[in-house]
Structure 1
């Protein structure tokens, strides 16, 4: 009898130990889960202060509803796997054509004319703009936190990298941005070394409706000189948004080794306007006497990267590649 009683006590003690251990594990698991949830919530509620050209903006980390007006920033977010809510759907570059889907993405106006009513209805957590929307900054800021991330062409690479790092910080993509920038730096160095080894100079022109505008160092296309190493065929080109108006006689006089052409007319054509072919405008009898033409060094750059975008992880990568591919 005594043995049976002792046996029962041993069994009850063992069961008690098991129950207590299970309770302890459940408590530990619940505590761990709560701590993990608290960490996630803290990360989501973290507020950043972003300094930019137009001021300072407080932004919550990892914003969910994002409206983007700059195609360079859009291609960056696309590369980083960040979802956006609204974009201007006119003149979207072909390489970003998925954003033309009116069911997946909301149309928030045009590059120069934001639709304030539609943007307000979206209740975005963040709006990102650049130069074309700078005048609307105050109005957009009344709707949601608005950050200016346009590229300063007078210091292109520094400004570009600063913007990319800001994007990385906002969306928690710092490591990915670091890797992408490292890859771009490597490509830039390779192309720069290749260009400087040729000792050749270059002239950059924008062709639009039968007219030409020249751009030099420090301009919107100045990366060709400032970053990739081409000497300027004309060191006195005025720096301006719309370029210095020039003629075919001017191009013939400067006689560049390379002539880089951005065809603005391609963009006009996608907007339903008739345009004169850049090749028709550029390759006349005067220009055919230049070294650039005779040596096969007239290079037509993709305006979707150079004119519409620029300043994005995808667009800058492709811009560098285009210059590299042009060197013969």
Structure 2
């Protein structure tokens, strides 16, 4: 997973969190089941399909009505497949999803799902990503839990496909992806000869650093599918990024390397998991704008720098379509 999608907690904090939720779940489930925790919740439903995932093999109920999602990608993918979860983690800064959260119960912050809140919803299926393995043993006692392998954000299509299988919505998933590629085909046609002439730079401003998103990041894969090229400074695969920068999808640059952020156009954003962090990143962006090295960039001088929302981070099909909207807006419809 990319580091913006979830910040890894310290060992001490994680241990404290696990102790709290274990005690809460132990008490709540014991009350709910007349004083005992079921040894194998999944075995109580014979009508199910087995699915191998990041945390093991889980038996998915053939019929489920109360889905809970543990992260924003799982939430938006479920929505795209026509299923609205009864509960999900809430994400303050993914504004493109806010209207979809109406009527959905809050089960906690991104990276900190509250198992007591999940239990209260009486779910019959829980979906999340592999970085949530630390709660799997507990969540799977509430309901069958599937954790999708999500090596990094550029793997979003595989995750979406797997989710369509789990939710028994493969036909719907195929239609959703067909629409994605249809929109990209239209984009390429409207771009015409300009498609091969534009190199797109993608920049994210953190509170303490400036990062460039690489070819196999979530947004990088959408740009690839759109037929758009990247500056040489960002044209690295996931394996190359991991080897060169210790990160498969992004690299950090200092002020002395700001020229690596240049391109024919620059898409730039800030996005943090807290109000304070987001404001600090915005302040950093304003400082960047006043930097003479930034002002010397070709895209800056040609007024081809576009501030975009945090859905450029990803990592679901709705975010991918939102990026396509931006490509039409800024590369075709912009004067």
Same fold (TM over 0.5): yes
Residues 234-276 of structure 1 deviation map (CA, whole Å, 9 limit, x = unaligned): 14653626832212331225632222212125x5338886553
Q: CA deviation at 1:220?
A: 4.1
2:321 counterpart of 1:317: yes
Q: Unaligned regions of 5+ residues in structure 2, if any?
A: 1-44
Inter-partner Cα distance in structure 2 for 1:232 and 1:134: 37
Gap change, CA 1:247 and 1:148, over 3 Å in 2: same
Gap change, CA 1:92 and 1:261, over 3 Å in 2: closer
SS at the partner of 1:128?
Answer: strand
CA contact (8 A) 2:48 2:62 kept: yes
Give the stretch that moved more between structures: 198-207 or 228-237. Answer: 228-237
Gap change, CA 1:150 and 1:302, over 3 Å in 2: farther
Q: How do 1:93-172 and structure 2 match up within 5 A?
A: 93-98=94-99, 104-130=103-129, 132-149=131-148, 151-153=150-152, 156=154, 159-172=155-168
Residues 115-142 of structure 1 deviation map (CA, whole Å, 9 limit, x = unaligned): 1222233332111112553433343233
Q: How do 1:1-328 and structure 2 match up within 5 A?
A: 46-91=47-92, 93-98=94-99, 104-130=103-129, 132-149=131-148, 151-153=150-152, 156=154, 159-191=155-187, 194=191, 197-209=195-207, 211-228=209-226, 229-234=228-233, 235=235, 238=245, 240=247, 243-252=250-259, 255-265=262-272, 268-269=274-275, 275-277=281-283, 279-283=285-289, 284-303=291-310, 305-307=311-313, 309-312=314-317, 314-327=318-331
TM-score scaled by length of structure 2: 0.69
Inter-partner Cα distance in structure 1 for 2:168 and 2:222: 31
Name the count of aligned residue pairs: 276
Inter-partner Cα distance in structure 2 for 1:241 and 1:162: 17
SS at the partner of 1:327?
Answer: helix
Inter-partner Cα distance in structure 2 for 1:162 and 1:244: 24
SS at the partner of 1:59?
Answer: strand
CA contact (8 A) 1:217 1:239 kept: no
Give the stretch that moved more between structures: 230-239 or 48-57. Answer: 230-239
Q: Unaligned regions of 5+ residues in structure 1, if any?
A: 1-43
SS at the partner of 2:268?
Answer: strand
Structure showing greater Rg: 1
